[in-house]
Structure 1
Amino acid sequence: MHEIPYEEILDNLRALNAQRVLIQSPEGLRREAEEIARFLEEKSIDVILHGEINYGACDPADREAKLLGCDALIHLGHSYMRLNLEVPTIFVPAFAQVEVIPALEKNLEEIRKLGKKIALVTTAQHIHRLDEARGFLERKGFEVLVGRGDSRVSWPGQVLGCNFSSAKVNADGVLFIGSGYFHPLGVALATRKPTLAINPYSGDAIWMTEEAERLVRKRWAQVAKAIDARSFGVIVSTKKGQLRLAEARRVVGLLREHGKRAELIAMNHISYGKLEGFSFDAYVVVACPRVPIDDYENWRKPILTPREVELLLGLREDYVFDEITGTDRDFDEPMGVSVHGPKAGL
């Protein structure tokens, strides 16, 4: 279950004088989206549910909302991200209703293996429990650091699937609170420090060191497969929060400087099936780093990140996880607000 601030959502819509709204949600929050719709329709607001897959705050359906004649977009399940949106957008994080202290208590001895000074991070779903977790750990004798992160994250201590800046503090190790595999794996790769992931739902604790090493070996294998590639399709995303056109052009320039043929390809939903007609020997995804890491087995040709291109060309020696940072693009006149948490401004 998740906390949904119905009245706060309604107050924001009334402040916008919104009569019709589009509700966008990830697959795991579709029931909550239906409940919001029923609540708002009782308040005489016209509601449309967005049925496409949603990949995060980087993937708002503001264009669709405008096309459908909506006055606002409700983006459910993710925290505010500063983007230039086409309609006013209300970001609703949907905090998980699960306690974190029991899982920390259960795994206290594992946490001690991180060292005395630990960085504490989590996702938007559990960010409201971070102060509580910090207090518990400090009472147990730890020095707990909660990094601010860059402008891409909404709260100190929050990590995204593409941004781990809040974990990059001077700590002995990193403690991640949350479910799932990709976020703590990204933390381990981005910080190169011992990382322990504790799942507040199951109470399980997983060390990410071996998982990170296993992933790096797989990524090096992709780089090796691309050694003989002479042509590259460099994919740039049209999703507003993943648009890294300057970085994509930089990658094209690097490849061409090293005698490779490289062309830009613009896509929204990135999948190999859509690219079958092209003749490129390999591809570079300059968008969400989860695409080349999660989906590489579905690609018949090598698929790299920008940092892996640098490895391929001999421009770096150590593996570096690709991240989207708050300085990757410029933002003008953001039209978003966060609810049920620190306001991020209209």
Structure 2
Amino acid sequence: MHEVPWKEILHELKKLGAGCVLIQSPEGLRKEAEELARFLGENGIEAILHGEVNYGACDPADREAKLLGCNALIHFGHSYMRLHLEVPTLFVPAFARVEVVPALEKNLGEIKRLGKRIALVTTTQHIHKLGEAREFLEERGFKVVIGKGDSRVSWPGQVLGCNFSSAKVEADGVLFIGSGYFHPLGVALATKKPTLAVNPYSGDALWMNEEAERLVRRRWAQIAKAIDARRFGVVVSTKKGQLRLKEAKRIIKLLREHGRKAELIAMDHISYSKLEGFSFDAYVVVACPRVPIDDYENWRKPVLTPREVELLLGIRDDYEFDEITGVERNEDEPLGIAVHGVRE
């Protein structure tokens, strides 16, 4: 189902002189992770499989790798993210073995409704097929724009669950290639443009704007529930790619300036069940924006994003999706290695 560059990984590990590695993978790539561990073992490198849930390149297990005595980490299934890491880390995307052009051809009529000038975006799994998709669409008269994005993304046209900068280009509408709802939903919210999601696995196409409107209504309901809240717990993540301490302190300052009480809470895996003992009236999650949006039904108290706090306090009027933007770093380059890249 996915392309795994076994020999390239082995080559990079030998260059590093790594005798023991930790392999971190999302749940959908566990079988490939097992095969990789066996392959490395056959070539003289001890491999340990990481069993915890992985949320993306923002959540590398480099600290665990160091603790286990590994001298390298393989972060499997996600693209390179610029982070300061404790051991050399190989970011291995694992591209999907599925063609995208047949699904585009099937849904050409729907794609035409986006307009002549369309922005083309996808996730890591299909980024290697973006050139083929662009060629197909341009041959049929479309002007295709592939945004570069900011420093948080690895390739032009790539979107993350927390970053849609590559979709923010001059276009009539946005075409997303991939499966699932969250990424194209985020695109629709971030760009406020007509957004069509084409699934290369099923061949289905889905317009996202009505779903985006429904989500915004649900978020306004969360904001309304927090209107009378006086005490806020502002939750910051200790995951390296989600650590937004400066933003969390900004939100605390805003809340206090508007007569609310606020305290900072630091967590690794954020869930309401861990917070039950606190007496806060509402929470603000300053980490992955998927936590308050995907999991809000599991929270007994209102849970907001930083931008929703600004709506609550009357600082902004228009709803905007919370994103984690790329930031250029001045510190030494991290020990991250992009493996099997198609970086432009």
- TM surpasses 0.5: yes
Matches within 5 A, 1:220-299: 220-299=220-299
For residue 30 of structure 1, what is the amino acid of its counterpart? R
1:328 CA displacement: 8.6
Whether 2:322 is the aligned partner of 1:322: answer: yes
Q: Which residue of 1 aligns with 2:132?
A: 132
Q: Which residue of 2 aligns with 1:81?
A: 81
Q: Deviations over 1:249-303 (max 9, x none)?
A: 0000000000100000000000001001101000000000000000000000000
Residues of 2 paired with 1:300 and 1:168: CA distance? 35
1:177 CA displacement: 0.1
Whether 2:203 is the aligned partner of 1:190: answer: no
Query: Does structure 2 conserve the Cα–Cα contact (< 8 Å) formed by 1:235 and 1:264?
Result: yes
Query: Does structure 2 conserve the Cα–Cα contact (< 8 Å) formed by 1:107 and 1:205?
Result: yes
- Determine what percentage of the aligned residue pairs are the same residue: 80
1:331 CA displacement: 5.4
Residues of 2 paired with 1:54 and 1:191: CA distance? 27
For residue 139 of structure 2, what is the amino acid of its counterpart? R
Matches within 5 A, 1:1-346: 1-327=1-327, 332-342=332-342
Query: Does structure 1 conserve the Cα–Cα contact (< 8 Å) formed by 2:21 and 2:73?
Result: yes
SS of equivalent to 2:214? helix
Residues of 1 paired with 2:31 and 2:88: CA distance? 23
1:107 CA displacement: 0.1
1:325 CA displacement: 0.2
Q: CA 1:329/1:279 → structure 2, altered by over 3 Å: closer, same or farther?
A: farther
Q: Deviations over 1:88-146 (max 9, x none)?
A: 00000000000000000000000000000000000000000000000000000000000
Query: Does structure 1 conserve the Cα–Cα contact (< 8 Å) formed by 2:3 and 2:97?
Result: yes
Query: Does structure 2 conserve the Cα–Cα contact (< 8 Å) formed by 1:244 and 1:328?
Result: no
1:342 CA displacement: 4.1
Query: Does structure 1 conserve the Cα–Cα contact (< 8 Å) formed by 2:151 and 2:328?
Result: no
Residues of 2 paired with 1:342 and 1:58: CA distance? 20
Residues of 1 paired with 2:270 and 2:58: CA distance? 14
Query: Does structure 2 conserve the Cα–Cα contact (< 8 Å) formed by 1:82 and 1:331?
Result: no
Q: Deviations over 1:303-333 (max 9, x none)?
A: 0000000000000000000000012976543
For residue 269 of structure 1, what is the amino acid of its counterpart? H
Residues of 2 paired with 1:260 and 1:294: CA distance? 26
For residue 41 of structure 1, what is the amino acid of its counterpart? G
Q: CA 1:342/1:129 → structure 2, altered by over 3 Å: closer, same or farther?
A: closer
Q: Deviations over 1:53-84 (max 9, x none)?
A: 00000000000000000010000000000000
Q: CA 1:333/1:252 → structure 2, altered by over 3 Å: closer, same or farther?
A: same
TM-score normalized by the length of structure 1: 0.98
Q: CA 1:343/1:214 → structure 2, altered by over 3 Å: closer, same or farther?
A: closer
Residues of 2 paired with 1:47 and 1:339: CA distance? 18
Residues of 2 paired with 1:330 and 1:317: CA distance? 34
Residues of 1 paired with 2:15 and 2:243: CA distance? 30
Residues of 1 paired with 2:71 and 2:131: CA distance? 36
Q: CA 1:223/1:268 → structure 2, altered by over 3 Å: closer, same or farther?
A: same
Residues of 1 paired with 2:68 and 2:23: CA distance? 12
Residues of 2 paired with 1:59 and 1:327: CA distance? 17
For residue 252 of structure 2, what is the amino acid of its counterpart? V
1:218 CA displacement: 0.1
For residue 82 of structure 1, what is the amino acid of its counterpart? R
Residues of 2 paired with 1:343 and 1:220: CA distance? 39
SS of equivalent to 2:263? strand
Q: CA 1:230/1:328 → structure 2, altered by over 3 Å: closer, same or farther?
A: farther
TM-score normalized by the length of structure 2: 0.99
Query: Does structure 2 conserve the Cα–Cα contact (< 8 Å) formed by 1:83 and 1:331?
Result: no
Residues of 2 paired with 1:299 and 1:328: CA distance? 34
Q: CA 1:206/1:191 → structure 2, altered by over 3 Å: closer, same or farther?
A: same
Q: Deviations over 1:18-42 (max 9, x none)?
A: 0000000000000000000000000
Q: CA 1:328/1:313 → structure 2, altered by over 3 Å: closer, same or farther?
A: farther
1:158 CA displacement: 0.1
